[in-house]
Amino acid sequence: MSRLTWTQPPDLVAHELVASVDDGKDESALASVRQRWLAAGGSTAASANGWETEGDWSLRALAGTLLDELDALPADRGLLRREPTDLVAIESLTDVSPHGARSFDVDRVHGALLGRAAGCLLGKPVEKISRSGIREILLSQGRWPLSGWFTERGLPAAVAKRWPWNRRSASTSLAENIDGMPEDDDLNFCLVALSVLERCGSGFTSQDVADEWLAALPAARVFTAERVAYRNLLNGVSPPDTATVHNPFREWIGAQIRTDVYGWVRPGDPATAARLAWRDAVVSHVRNGVYGAMAVAAMCARAVVSDDVDEVVAAGLAVVPPRSRYAAAVRRGVEIARSGDDTEECFDAIYDEFGHLHWVHVLNNAALISFALTRSRGDFASAVCTVVMGGWDTDSNGATVGSVCGALAGAERLPAAWVDPLHNRLASSMPGFDGIGFDALAARLQAVAQS
């Protein structure tokens, strides 16, 4: 039987219990749900990688009931004041205002596209491999610290068996196999945003984003919060409710990976870029999940006009509520990067504070991204290799860091070793985009920015 993961009610209860604790919901109510679920034979072990088994379908009806109950529980009021989702409330807590965009630099945006693709591609074969596994692979080949593409050459059989490459990516993402940029959701969502802007202009709505998903993205090409939101759309739920109905992944990394475009088309205007990103993000996320999208869009808006990576990170931080957990994670990543400790000690510090979170939660990955950007001083190779060595969501983090540093450099200054294997070709299931060149995408983005 075919079974699409990330959406089945029996699989979602354990994750929702974790998310509800993070929301500060009533502990006695959560304990009651937990007890009833366990008594019926359910599990409270939240899987780290998604689900591959059929599960106990007799629990489906109960799971739906319990998810409804958990959704109905109010979050902590103090938390909601510090971490609102409403845009007006968010902006009331920040001190940044929109202003006119600066001129569009096509070389900078072309560099951002290439950097996003290369950083993503670097992380793809080790996605879901732990930080310790990545280190063991590289040490066994005499390639630690990482400085180039992953390869199977010289990998001892025992290490390969212990840490198998990501099965969907090894055939297209190892050095010996790279032939253009393979399809990935981190790039597909750039195309979605471009399509929305081309079709609707900068006045697009969250519903326009949702309509583009349904028209252009197969369900199997979206994951976690996006897949739940997609299911909700099919069930007749409209944004922003799509982000909160049976969606325990609402503060994971998904929205953070899809908003670079809104920064690229608003060069030098982080506040407006963040507003555009907010409209996209609330289709599937709330609070810190939304802040990740806003922060990355703001960083991208600054990166295409700046030469200073600290200025870029600060631009992302400026558009999110300063007392939010997201802001704290970014600040902590920067602080650790400036500590003077070696990279492994810094990774240890990040894992000590954020290692309890799921590997695709937004907070731990935001700390790792801000660490890699700050520690690298904006150097492309240093930044993408550092963030991928750190583990967690390796391809998404590589894409975000690569986007920022690619924009800082521009296409002409990116090292050929990272650009040439892409062959100026992007694979995608998005209609009309398969095989498109990164230069063609930059030109279309320029047209949108100037329209």
Establish whether the linkage from the previous residue to 145 is cis, with ω within 30° of 0.
yes
**Within 167-324, where are the H helices?**
170-173, 185-200, 206-216, 224-234, 260-264, 270-281, 287-303, 309-318
| Banded model confidence at residue 2, pLDDT cuts 50, 70, 90 | low
Establish whether the linkage from the previous residue to 164 is cis, with ω within 30° of 0.
no
The residue among 411, 412, 388, 389 whose CA lies nearest residue 400 is 388
pLDDT of residue 50: 44
CB 270 within 8 A of CB 303: no
Q: Rounded to whole angstroms, how far apart are CA atoms 45 and 114?
A: 39
Q: How many residues does the chain have?
A: 451
pLDDT at 24 over 70: yes
Torsion angle in degrees (nearest 10) through CA of 199, 316, 365, 372: 120
Mean pLDDT of 270-275: 98
> pLDDT by residue (tens digit) across 125-168?
999 999 999 999 999 999 999 999 999 999 999 999 999 999 99
Strand partners, 426: 181, 436
Q: Rounded to whole angstroms, how far apart are CA atoms 377 and 19?
A: 34
For tokens 């032939």, what's the residue? 179
Q: Is 362 left (phi over 0), alpha (psi -120 to 50) or beta?
A: alpha
Q: Is 6 left (phi over 0), alpha (psi -120 to 50) or beta?
A: left
pLDDT of residue 49: 43
pLDDT of residue 1: 45
Q: Rounded to whole angstroms, how far apart are CA atoms 117 and 190?
A: 11
Number of neighbours of residue 328 by Cβ within 10 angstroms:
16
pTM of this prediction exceeds 0.95 = yes
| Banded model confidence at residue 52, pLDDT cuts 50, 70, 90 | very low
| Banded model confidence at residue 307, pLDDT cuts 50, 70, 90 | very high
The gap between the terminal CA atoms of the chain, to the nearest Å, is 48
| Banded model confidence at residue 317, pLDDT cuts 50, 70, 90 | very high
Percent of the chain with pLDDT over 70: 97
| Banded model confidence at residue 56, pLDDT cuts 50, 70, 90 | low
> pLDDT by residue (tens digit) across 164-200?
999 999 999 999 999 999 999 999 999 999 999 999 9
